[in-house]
Structure 1
Amino acid sequence: MEQQQPYQPKNKVRIVTAASLFDGHDAAINIMRRIIQATGVEVIHLGHDRSVEEVVNTAIQEDANAIAMTSYQGGHNEYFKYMYDLLKEKGAGHIKIFGGGGGVILPSEISELHEYGIERIYSPDDGRELGLQGMINDLVQRADFPVGDTLNGEVNHLEDKNPTAIARLISSAENFPEVAKPVLEKIAKINQDSKTPVLGITGTGGAGKSSLVDELVRRFLIDFPDKTIGLISVDPSKRKTGGALLGDRIRMNAINNPRVYMRSLATRQSNLALSKYVQEAIEILKAAKYDLIVLETSGIGQSDTEILEHSDVSLYVMTPEFGAATQLEKIDMLDFADLVALNKFDKRGALDAIRDVKKQYQRNHHLWDVDPDKMPVFGTIASQFNDPGMNTLYKSIMDKIVEKTGIDLHSNFQITREMSEKIFVIPPHRTRYLSEISENNRKYDETALSQVDVAQKLYGIFKTMETVSGRVPKIDKSGVIEDSLNHSPEKKEFLSLLMKEFDRVKMNLDPYNWEIILTWDEKVNKYKNPVYSFMVRDKEIKIQTHTESLSHSQIPKVALPKYQAWGDILKWNLQENVPGEFPFASGLYPFKREGEDPTRMFAGEGGPERTNRRFHYVSLGMPAKRLSTAFDSVTLYGNDPDHRPDIYGKIGNAGVSICCLDDAKKLYSGFDLSHPATSVSMTINGPAPMLLGFFMNAAIDQNCEKYIKENGLEAEVEAKINAIYKAKGVERPRYNGELPKGNDGLGLMLLGVTGDQVLPADVYNDIKVKTLAQVRGTVQADILKEDQAQNTCIFSTEFALRLMGDVQEYFIQNNVRNFYSVSISGYHIAEAGANPITQLAFTLANGFTYVEYYLSRGMNINDFGPNLSFFFSNGIDPEYAVIGRVARKIWAKAMKLKYGANERAQMLKYHIQTSGRSLHAQEIDFNDIRTTLQALYAIYDNCNSLHTNAYDEAITTPTEESVRRAMAIQLIINKELGLAKNENPIQGSFIIEELTDLVEEAVLAEFDRITERGGVLGAMETMYQRSKIQEESLYYETLKHTGEFPIIGVNTFLSSKGSPTVIPAEVIRATEEEKQFQIATLESLHKANADKVKEQLEIIQDAAIQNQNIFEKLMDATKYCSLGQITSALFEVGGQYRRNM
């Protein structure tokens, strides 16, 4: 394939790139922005989850030629149209809009958006036809027009701080200096008496300057509620292409504020940290009467002091990793900087580093009579929310500005004189935990092998005794029973020698292992008997051990090997064993639960009523109700439904819209949430604690409803509810539409109220205690995986982990034994592109990180271990055949031998979903074949629950017909496939054993690599996991593209028509009525609970500040507050997630 040459722009082109609101799919836009930059463009990259307003404000402030967006989460019609309208409304209609969203954006919608005025939406067919570079060439060529070649009175709008005018003047100064010259002369006269201070911030590349600037801006806006701030941020241009990555905005959360203007400049020259037009930009901002201007340079070397020529006060930012103390003598900025920030103060050696920098500063400034600790050198952790070091630095900067310029910017910011201290999720002395697990597990395997060797020698001696004696010797706990041997005189001496050797060798065998050999025949017979009985939570369970085929063959449910040699028996027991026994290679329980196949019923679309109908449809007639819930992207990001178009378009699309307790009650109505055959799985991460609060309260209120009916209190309660709503002057909430078949209305009686409002406190509390002990299900809530792969983090990582810990603590205190507080998820890691080994290694590593974190909080491993569950993807790679058994073995060995956990905590319980990545939009009927094979892997490997994807999910939301087919795949395997009647069919296979050993060692090796990077959290800081996932994704896509990796119906065995991409006949989207009803529900809630919300939000904020359990308070707050209200309140005390490049 001939490589396409990049288009060469005739003008300086600037393009803003981002992924749309509530959309974490940033892989595509990252690839696009790289190619756009390599085509000679200055790229202002914003990352994922960006609102229209943020993108439009950025494009205007940056005076961009174009905006390039990806949108994979639906709502694209409203999003792009709103962007177009907002640009026109703000006088920036010249900025062109480009977009793409794979197969999510239909051809008819592309045509509609083009007609509306969107410059170009690229389809998958465009990508195939033009190639990536061809697509970008088209985009850049369309956006290649001059900016700033004419001026039209913009200078007259400066004092209004008009961002369009400010931006155009800076562009003109940069691109057409001759055009700008007379205007700049006019600006110079305006600025003759200007006292606006300029803070210059410079430092080495990677010192965290952008995060630090963002934290300074956040504090400035709080400190001075009526002041404004202008930012100029410089990044280097690429000498080869002229392109530049202007990436400072991606790290910033505080700048989308009307009191902030930011402009990113490329140096447009090599070897310099500033643009030659930076002074012009400063003068323009001074003329616009900003109260403070901050100038941030690109990364500099040791001898660079350019910033001093443009600033009144200078701050030098560095990290503790500067090498030997003598290196400090070479840094010119330490001679001139007014203040120094030693950022990333959580790094090893930070205390020594700050001592050395303070001494060097003292020397350079000849401050011999001043205590080194009084030097203006500050340890900061800008990435940490409300960092004390940042507070001190900010106050010192403002004081220095006042001191040097006399300007009236006296700070009232409250600070404490604490030093920056990292809030360690994992204590520093525990960072080797993964390698300790590797060492521990390898030691177990080595010990097992040596014990097997001893057992095999004993068996050799035993067989020799049998041969010499002429009879089979008997054995007991002490060894061979001497009386069972033939004591004829000619054999006595030899047998005596053999007995001594047997006893000598046996000294090296662990008594536990001798017991295994001793009881082997008994174990085999237990499975041969017609009925097997075992205990589960003090209850005896009896199971038939065989099934009968049509040919009247007796098929054993568990087949055991016919080994006789003790070494073989011992090895099999130590490394494989029967289901239900350590190390759980073949399963967690002696037999599968009868009458409950591991089928999960997955749904999520529109409002809660529509998803409730789908749940009742898919579970009708099924003995167990295993409901799995997908939420829309508005909910996934912790927001409320809204009329604003970029939110409105996403309500109820690609998941169900849930924003309050009443929504949860309607969603699960008609299902008894406390019944042992009901379990609910919720695919939610960032706002998981809030959704969990909604769910728990819905379950409690269901039981309150049962109590009301059992005690004939319906009329009394109805009267109370009517009185409550009459007093509020609001209509009572209702279920929208008719109840579906199978829904008896359970859960709807108390819509709009909670049980504690209509029942006595003692009755309510008793019901609450019992309900919490009964509910079964899972909430995903896996924050580590979100940061590594899926991007639905909303809070700062430390705060999100604290919330997870609070939930688990609450579960322990309230005896929540049957609900998983987290589903540690590899599925999304695999969907992002990881191969099966990486998926398994990263997921288990994340799991052990939660273990270490919960232990550091003082929780007992046997209390929280059983509340942890896992979630894996199953593709069709060979390693997927053993993913479950390897996970179980690694987890069990580590939990038992490293952490001393009990048997229940050793059991790794996991859900499997067939691979979404293997669903292709070409020849979609073939997808069911792949899904069937993946489901077979999962069932043979004894997964605890399973979701099979519908064949049409590659192109649309599944239909009832496709969902039925997907469920039939599982049912046919479980009910019809003869071999599946056996519950350990892959045990004993040579290739399975080989794969198990290979994958297990590969995972342990990955643990060691992660340890080298400081454990999971340390590796995340350098984006190790994310980079590895992307590399593996690219490898797969390359082999798929070249055909080296054959995919039937995609790159080989194509149909006569060439297997084109299938366009769906219809796409299931939320209706206008559903969206409007959700917004009306929310507005009614806000009106009904207006008197309660402020108090409840203050209670959860206080709990966060006082280090109390936040989830305990959320259980009350979720009764009255909406999801968005709680999220916003927690942002103020826990910090927002900071995106990475």
Structure 2
Amino acid sequence: MTQATPYKPKYKVRIVTAAALFDGHDASINIMRRIIQSTGVEVIHLGHDRSVDEVVNTAIQEDANAICLTSYQGGHNEYFKYMYDLLKERGAEHIKIFGGGGGVILPSEIKDLMDYGISRIYSPDDGRAMGLQGMINDLVEQSDFAIGDTLSNELNILPTKNPKAIARIISSAENFPDVAKATLDKIHIKNKASKTPVLGITGTGGAGKSSLVDELVRRFLVDFPEKTIGLVSVDPSKRKTGGALLGDRIRMNAINSPRVYMRSLATRQSNLALSKYVNEAVQVLKAAEYDLIILETSGIGQSDTEIMEHSDVALYVMTPEFGAATQLEKIDMLDFADLVAINKFDKRGSLDALRDVKKQYMRNNNLWDVHQDDLPVYGTIASQFNDPGMNTLYKAIMDKLVEKTDSVLKSTFEISQEMSEKIFVIPPSRTRYLSEIAESNRAYDKTASTQVEVAQRLYGIFKTIGSVGDVTLSGVEKAFIGKQGLDQDEILKLVQDDKKDFIKMLIAEFDRVKLNLDPYNWEVITGWDEKVNKYKNPIYSFKVRDKEIKIETHSESLSHLQIPRIALPKYQAWGDLLRWNLQENVPGEFPYTSGLYPFKRTGEDPARMFAGEGGPERTNRRFHYVSAGLPAKRLSTAFDSVTLYGNDPDLRPDIYGKIGNAGVSICCLDDAKKLYSGFDLANVMTSVSMTINGPAPMLLGFFMNAAIDQQCEFYIKENGLEKEVEAKIAKLYKGKVRPSYNGELPEGNNGLGLMLLGVTGDLVLPADVYAEIKKNTIAQVRGTVQADILKEDQAQNTCIFSTEFALRLMGDVQEYFIENNVRNFYSVSISGYHIAEAGANPITQLALTLSNGFTYVEYYLSRGMDINKFGPNLSFFFSNGIDPEYAVIGRVARKIWAKAMKHKYGANARAQMLKYHIQTSGRSLHAQEIDFNDIRTTLQALYAIYDNCNSLHTNAYDEAITTPTEESVRRAMAIQLIINKELGLNKNENPIQGSFIIEELTDLVEEAVLLEFDRITERGGVLGAMETMYQRSKIQEESLYYETLKHNGKFPIVGVNTFLSSKGSPTVVPAEVIRATEEEKQFQIKTLANLHDANDTKALLKELQVKAINNENIFEALMDVCKVCSLGEITSSLFEVGGQYRRNM
């Protein structure tokens, strides 16, 4: 395909770009906004998870020509139509709407949306036909029209703060100064009496000005509940193309308020920090009678002081990283600024920087008599929620505004005298933890190699003794080798007299060399025959948690051969044996390269099937369908995007369209009870996995309470208390609607879990009985909650709380697990799957995932937790693929983890075991020739099973185009069953051990991961690397590399870019699309309304906030709060004490 030439716009085109609400898939929109910008457009980028209201407000305030959106998470019909309706309602129907969503948006839906008035929805086939630049040319050309070439009644309605009128006058001033002149003249006359203060904020690029402005706005809105604020933010234009990235809004959470107006301006001139129309924008906001105006410049050099001409009070924002103190003498703004903020005060050398800047400020302003503590220089960490330094800076700014302008904005904001201090997740002294792990693991390998050489030399001496002495000493099984070494007396009895002296010399040399061999390694060598015999015997016995387990070691083939479940090497040389034992070993022994347990569990295949759609009842039916006839119930839960982002169902169209789509809708405890009804959650054969991250603690609270109430139900039935309990529930719900299961129970559902809908066991049973049931239940439940917040920030974007607060929640869950003996449930599933799905190659997936895992280890250790108590609660989740490295991803992960946990952290055997779930690659599911997807999935499943994964999910072949059908799910399940039950080689449980290529790949991948650990260390560890978006950038680069090779055909994909059908293998349109029904959505909304009617939750939510503020365990409080509060209520409540996630570009 020939690359299209970028279209050259005739007018200054402004386009708002974003990903839809509850949608973290921002890779596509990031690519699109880059190409749009390089086509000469001013792009206002909002990032992922944006509501229709936010996007429409932005488009109107920014006077945009168009909105460009991606929507990959369902609900697109309602989302786009609601946006069109809202624009029309607000008199902005001239703003065009463009969108895309891959194969998620069906051709029939594209036609319907475009008939409704959406300018264009691009399909995958459009992408193939037009190319990326071709699509962008099309949307830019359609958006290339004049804005601000006429003015009418805008001036008269300015005092009403009409955003459309404000925006239009500013656009007219920018684009058609002659048209705007008369209006602006009147504004200047009117503004002579204006007392609106202007705060100018300037500083170096990357100083965190946007985050700092957002924090100032948030405090202003709290401080002055009736006042309004206007923002003007300037970003540089690209000299070559004329395009601009106006990216300040992406970092701001507080501005989506009716009391805030924001306008982003491009400089439209090179080498200057301000637009030449910035004064007009400020004057328009003054005429609109805003109470405070903030003007923020783009990043400036040392000599730029232009902002002083437009502001009453000037704030200069810098970082501690300015170099030598003499550099401060070159910064002009230190002569003029009223206040200075040293942001990112958590950086090394911050206190020295504060001292140096204060000295320079004192010298520049001749403030020799002022105490340093009273100088207007402040350390701040704007990225940290409720930062004391930000509080102090805000109060100082407001006081300075009153002092210099006679403003009425007298602040009553309360501050403490604390200085900004970073709340470290990882202590600074531990920043090198990943390189320390790499060094420790390499040291183990080096020691192992040295020991192997010693063992090999000993074997050589040993064989020489046999040869010279003409004595048969083959193998290590002979009695001549005792625990301490060679038995000289026994050997000499068998040797001729003329050779005895020489033999004595060899034995002495043997003893001398053996001094260099670790006693443990001598035991490995001398114990080898015993180990071999254990696997040759018909029955192998071992202990798990003090329980003896006996296992048959062989199975019989149809040809009546005895197939060993574990095959051992036939090495004779001690060095070879030792190397194999130290680097490979049998399953169940350190370093666990080939598996965690001596044998696979019988009666429970590793199959774990993913389900989630509609309301809890429909997913409950699917769970019973996929687990029918299976002795082990391994349920894996997908949640809808409303739940993933911690929200409640709502009638608002951009939320309503997503209820129950691409996952199950769960907003309260009763939903969880219905979801898992009919499955005994405390049964050892039941295991539940929940794919949820941001609001994971709340969903875990729902799950635990559902499990507890099931056991209360057993107690009620066993003790004949049904009538008594029913009477209590009836009394509690007198005059109220009682929750119920919507529809018939599916086959296999005995109704367990539904008796106590609407109440919890503590309301109907004595306190001591309930406490005992609770204690026993949470110690028995098996399963996993994903809850991996680091991966979310790096790849998947379902973070909802500030990173520090989210990590604290994770730590609180783990602490609760330790204190309450929750041994069988994993508090986190450290996930590489979404890293791979975002585009990372297998080595990057593994390296980033393990580095995240070790970061949790360091964090939990810093909180004083015992590694042997939290280590077993950690689990992992990887993606699979067809790349060669995927053949060894599990064994390398187990090996690195075990060596580090044992030798670096001193953990016990149970904590050394890396347990992982693996899922076949979603990225390798293609929307062309979808039948071929099952072939790819089968090969990936084979990799996973041969590598001894702990559980496996096989994707359905049609997942590339729709939610899987029952037929496709059955086929996906059959892939695993055929491998596990029919494939002969899989009767052996270590089939890839001993393969030369597997051993080579293991070494290559292991070293590549350790090198990546070192690269992350250079960037300050995982959290330091996240600040510079190292992981995210790396993932995007690798994604682009793959897509480029796929696009140009250098990476062949059968049925996609090679071996095409006679019709060209077009994108397949699904025959059946599974979406939530109107009845299901309405039932969820009614469930929520009834929950709110039945419970007064204000006191409980307030108590939760108080515990969070007082640094008590939040999850302990959530276990009670989750009984009566909805998910959205809890999320909103925690936002107020923990802070919202701040998006990155």
Q: TM-score under structure 2 normalisation?
A: 0.99
Distance 1:987 1:1113 in 2: 48
Give the one of 1084, 1092, 1108 matched to 1:1104.
1108
Please name the residue that 1:1060 is paired with.
1066
Structure 1 counterpart of 2:1007: 1001
Shifted more, 468-477 versus 559-568: the winner is 468-477
* Alpha-carbon contact 2:157-2:165 (below 8 Å) kept: yes
The code of the aligned residue for 1:640 comes to D
Distance apart, 1:487 and its partner CA: 3.9
Deviations 1:893-950 (A, max 9, x none): 0000000000000000000100000000000000000000000000000000000000
Find the counterpart in structure 1 of residue 477 from structure 2.
none
Q: Deviations over 1:662-695 (max 9, x none)?
A: 0000000000000000000000000000000000
- 8 Å contact from structure 2 (residues 471, 495) kept in 1: no
Q: Match of 1:216? A: 216
1:489, CA displacement in angstroms?
1.4
Deviation at 1:2, TM superposition (A): 2.9
- State the partner residue of 2:488: 482
C-alpha deviation, 1:191, in angstroms:
1.1
Question: Secondary structure of 1:263's match?
Answer: strand
Residue 665 of structure 1, aligned match among 669, 673, 676:
673
2:456 and 2:759 mapped to 1: Cα distance? 69
Whole-Å separation in 2 of the counterparts to 1:75 and 1:730: 32
Query: C-alpha distance in 2, partners of 1:393/1:122?
Result: 47
Unpaired runs of at least 5, structure 1: none
Residue by residue over 1:1008-1042, the C-alpha shift from the partner in whole angstroms, topping out at 9 and shown as x without a partner, is 00000000000000000000000000000111111
Q: Give the aligned residue type for 1:667.
A: L
Task: Name 2:1027's counterpart in structure 1.
Answer: 1021
Q: SS of the residue aligned with 1:627?
A: strand
Distance 2:1112 2:456 in 1: 57
Q: Distance in 1 between matches of 2:643 and 2:495?
A: 81
Counterparts of 1:853-892 in structure 2 under 5 Å?
853-892=859-898
Match of 1:99 in 2: 99
**Which AA in structure 2 matches 1:931?**
T
Distance in structure 1 (CA, Å) of the matches to 2:484 and 2:284: 93
**1:412 and 2:418 are equivalent in the alignment:** no
Q: Deviations over 1:414-473 (max 9, x none)?
A: 000111000000000000000000000000000000000000000011111111223245
Deviations 1:939-981 (A, max 9, x none): 0000000000000000000000000000000000000000000
CA displacement, residues 548-595 of structure 1 (integer Å, 9 cap, x when unaligned): 000001000000000111001100000000000000000000000011
* Residue 592 of structure 1 pairs with residue 600 of structure 2: yes
Equivalent in the alignment of 1:700: 708
Q: Per-residue CA shift, 1:832-852, capped at 9, x if unaligned? A: 000000000000000000000
- What pairs up with 1:289-300 in 2 under 5 angstroms? 289-300=289-300
**Of residues 608, 615, 629 in structure 2, which corresponds to 1:607?**
615
Q: 2: distance between equivalents of 1:129 and 1:941?
A: 41
SS of structure 1 residue aligned to 2:1123? helix
Aligned counterparts of 1:986 and 1:693: Cα–Cα separation in 2: 41
In the other structure, the counterpart of 1:76 is 76
- In 1: Cα distance, 2:705 partner to 2:376 partner: 52
Unpaired runs of 5+ residues, structure 2, are 474-479
Match for residue 353 of structure 1?
353
Kindly state the Cα deviation for residue 484 of structure 1 after the two structures are TM-superposed.
2.5
**Matched AA of 1:613:** R
Pairwise CA distance, 1:407: 1.1
**How far is the alpha carbon of 1:373 from its aligned partner?**
2.7
**Among 1055, 1065, 1087, which residue is 2:1093 paired with?**
1087
Matched letter for residue 270 of structure 1 = S
Instruction: Name the CA distance, whole Å, in 2 between partners of 1:697 and 1:768.
Output: 8
Find the aligned partners of 1:1010 and 1:119 in 2 and give their Cα distance.
Answer: 44
Match of 2:383 in 1: 383
Task: Determine if the alignment matches structure 1 residue 1137 to structure 2 residue 1141.
Answer: yes
1:1115 equivalenced with 2:1110 (yes/no): no
How far 1:600 sits from its partner (Å)?
Answer: 0.3
- The 4+ residue runs of structure 1 with deviation greater than 2 A are 468-473
Alpha-carbon shift at residue 492 of structure 1 (Å): 1.0
Question: Could you list the per-position Cα deviations for residues 12-33 of structure 1 after superposition, in whole angstroms to 9, with x for gaps in the alignment?
Answer: 1111000000000000000100
Which of the numbers 948, 955, 966 marks the counterpart of 2:961?
A: 955
Which residue number in structure 2 is paired with residue 782 of structure 1? Answer: 788
Q: Find 1:992's aligned residue among 979, 989, 998.
A: 998
The answer to whether structure 1 residue 327 and structure 2 residue 335 are counterparts is: no
Residue 269 of structure 2 is matched in structure 1 by 269
Paired letter, 1:987:
Q
* Aligned with residue 590 of structure 2, among 582, 588, 591: 582
**Contact 2:173/2:280 (8 A) holds in 1:** yes
Q: Which stretch shows the higher mean deviation, 93-102 or 478-487? A: 478-487
Hey, what does 2:476 align to over in structure 1? none
Give the 5 Å matches for 1:919-930. 919-930=925-936
1:606-652 CA-partner distances (Å, limit 9, x unpaired): 00000000000000000100000000000000000000000000000
- Look up the match of 2:807: 801
Alignment match, 1:240: 240
From 983, 994, 1016, the counterpart of 1:1010: 1016
Paired residue secondary structure (1:227) = coil
Q: Distance in 2 between matches of 1:273 and 1:455?
A: 70
Aligned to 2:429: 429
Q: Could you tell me how far apart the structure 1 residues matched to 2:575 and 2:1025 are?
A: 41
Instruction: Provide the rounded CA distance (Å) in 2 between the counterparts of 1:72 and 1:179.
Output: 42
For residue 492 of structure 1, what is the amino acid of its counterpart? K
| Residue number in structure 2 paired with 1:716 | 724
User: Cα deviation per residue 1:863-891 (whole Å; 9 max; x = unaligned)?
Assistant: 00000000000100000000000000000
Query: How big is the alpha-carbon RMSD for the aligned residues of Structure 1 and Structure 2?
Result: 0.6
| Deviation by residue 1:307-354 (Cα, 9 ceiling, x = unmatched) | 000000000000011111111000000000000000000111111111
Q: What are the equivalent positions in structure 2 for 1:643-654 lying under 5 Å apart?
A: 643-654=651-662
Which amino acid is 1:1107 matched to? Answer: N
Amino acid at match of 2:1104: I
Looking at structure 2, the residues matched to 523 and 831 of structure 1 have their Cα atoms a distance apart, in angstroms, of: 42
How big is each residue's C-alpha offset from its partner over 1:507-541, in whole Å with a ceiling of 9 and x where there is no partner? 00000000000100000000000000001111110
Aligned pairs for 1:908-987 (under 5 A) are: 908-987=914-993
Q: Give, as a single letter, the amino acid of the residue that structure 2 aligns with 1:1089.
A: N
Residue 563 of structure 2 is aligned to residue 555 of structure 1: yes
Q: Secondary structure at the match of 2:848?
A: helix
Say yes or no: does 1:120 pair with 2:120.
Answer: yes
On the 8 A contact 2:200/2:312 being kept in 1, the answer is yes
Is 1:824 matched with 2:830?
Answer: yes
Aligned length: 1137
Instruction: Name the counterpart of 1:901.
Output: 907
Q: What is the CA deviation profile of residues 198-242 of structure 1, one whole-angstrom value per residue up to 9, with x for unaligned ones?
A: 000000011000000000000000000000000000001111111
Structure 1 SS opposite 2:952: strand
Q: Which residue of 1 aligns with 2:1040?
A: 1034
CA–CA distance in structure 1, aligned partners of residues 98 and 359 of structure 2: 53
Aligned-partner Cα distance in 1 for 2:611–2:218: 40
Range 882-891 or range 475-484, more displaced: 475-484
1:465-501 deviations in whole A, cap 9, x for unaligned? Answer: 1112232451011101123212431111011101100
Equivalences for residues 727-766 of structure 1 within 5 A = 729-766=735-772
Counterpart CA distance in 1 for 2:28 and 2:496 is 83
Alignment of 1:618-697 (within 5 A): 618-697=626-705
SS of the residue 2:618 aligns to: helix
Q: What pairs up with 1:148-227 in 2 under 5 angstroms?
A: 148-227=148-227
How far apart are residue 1100 of structure 1 and its match? 1.1
Matched position secondary structure for 1:569: helix
